[in-house]
A = this chain, B = another copy of it.
Amino acid sequence: MALVPSMLPSLTKVGAEVLIERSAGERAGFADKAYADKGATIVASRAELFAQAEVIVQVRGLGANQDAGHLDIPLLRAGQAVVGFLDPLGSPEFARDLAQKGVTAFAIELMPRVARAQSMDALSSQATISGYKAVLLAAHHLPRVFPLMMTAAGTLSAARVFVLGAGVAGLQAIASARRLGAVVEAYDVRPAVKEQVESVGARFVELPLETAASEDKSGYAVGQDESFYRRQRDVLTRVVTSSDVVITTAAIPGKKSPVLVTREMVEGMQRGSVVVDLAAERGGNCEATRPDEVVEINGVIILGPTNLPATVPNHASQMYAKNVTAFLLHLMKDGRLQLDSDDEITRETMVTRDGHVVHERVK
C-alpha cells in the first residue's frame, strides 16, 4: 500500500486532498476507517479514483507490474501525475504508453542517491525488507536450524550462510542471518564493501588476485581478464558448495542480473540447502532461478521471490508511504504539484511529461 494513514496529516497539512481506493489498505493491515479518520476520502472504485485524482500514487505501477499494470492505462487522463515503481529502464514501452496518455510519470526507482533524497529512496527501504525476509525464507525452508546448539541430544552445527552482493539488501540479510546465529560470509565486486560486511559481523570472501598483475593496474581492471573470472568462479564454487544457505542480491536496476551461481555450483551443494535469489525479477543471480517459483535441484531448493516486501506488507507499506510522502512534499507547493526541472530529484525521477518521454536514460 503506497500510503499509510499516519502519513496523511503531513499531506493534508500542505493542502492536498487524499483519495483512497476502497479496501486498498486491507492486506497491509490498514482499514478504510483508519484512512477516513485521518481525513481521506474513500472512493468506491478504481475508475472513479482515477477520474478524480490529480496525482496517482502506487507501489508497482505500469511496467513494474506486468500482470495488472496495463489495466490502468485506459483509466489515466492527460495532465495526471503518476508516482510509483514504473520500471522505465526495463520496460521502456510502458513509459511510451504513459507519455502518449499525456501523463506526467515519476519512477521512484530512479531516485538519485543523494543525501537529501535518502528519505525518498524506496529502493533502499524495500531492499531492507527484502534482505530481512530473504533470511526468514531461507530459515523457513532449511531442514536445519540456524544457530549452533549444544544439547543433550547432540550438537546442531550452525548454518553457513553466504550472501552474494552486499548492498542494502545484502547487508540486511547478513545482519539478520547473524542475529539468528548463522555463520555468515559475503562477497561483493566492490572491495570497499569489505569493511561494511565486517561491520555487521560477517567474513568477507576475498578473491586471491595475482599480485603481480594488481600492482600495475587497478584491481578492477585486472578483474576483467578471463583467468580472473575463472578464479572467481573457483572461489565462489568453493564457498557456495560449502554453504547451507546462499542469498544473492546482485541486482542491477533495469539490466539483466549477472549470473553468479551456476547450475553446476547448485548441484555441488548439500541436499536440503537453500538458495534465495533476490535478483530473480531480472533473471536472477542463479542460473536455476525461476521467478516466484520453487525450483528443486538435487534436493537443493532455489527460491526466486520477486516481491518480498509484499510479504511484510505492513512495515513495507509504512516505509514506502514515508518515501512517497517525502517525495510528494518535495514536488508540491501549496497543495499542488510544482515541477522544477532544475531540481536534481525532480529531473532524475520524471520519466514522461507533456506527452513525451523526457528522461535521458529511458529515451
Interface residues of A (CB under 8 A from B): 28-29, 31, 118-119, 121-122, 124-125, 128-129, 132-133, 136-137, 139-140, 142-145, 147, 149, 151-154, 156, 176, 179-181, 270-272, 299, 311-315, 318-320, 322-323
Contact = CB atoms under 8 A, between A and B. Distances in A.
A315 B29 contact: no
Contact of A271 (B31, B179, B311): B31
Nearest to A125: B153
Nearest to A122: B153
A97 to B, nearest CB: 29
Nearest to A119: B152
Contacts of A129: 145
Given A128-B149, A143-B314, A319 B154 contact: yes
How many copies are assembled? 2
A134 to B, nearest CB: 12
Contact of A143 (B128, B140, B271, B312): B312
Interface of A is mostly: helix
Contacts of A28: 143
A147 B136 CA distance: 13
A8 to B, nearest CB: 14
Contacts of A270: 29
Given A121-B152, A156-B318, A180-B179, A143 B29 contact: yes
A144 B179 contact: no
A29 B132 contact: no
Contacts of A299: 29
B144 A124 contact: no
A200 to B, nearest CB: 13
A10 to B, nearest CB: 11
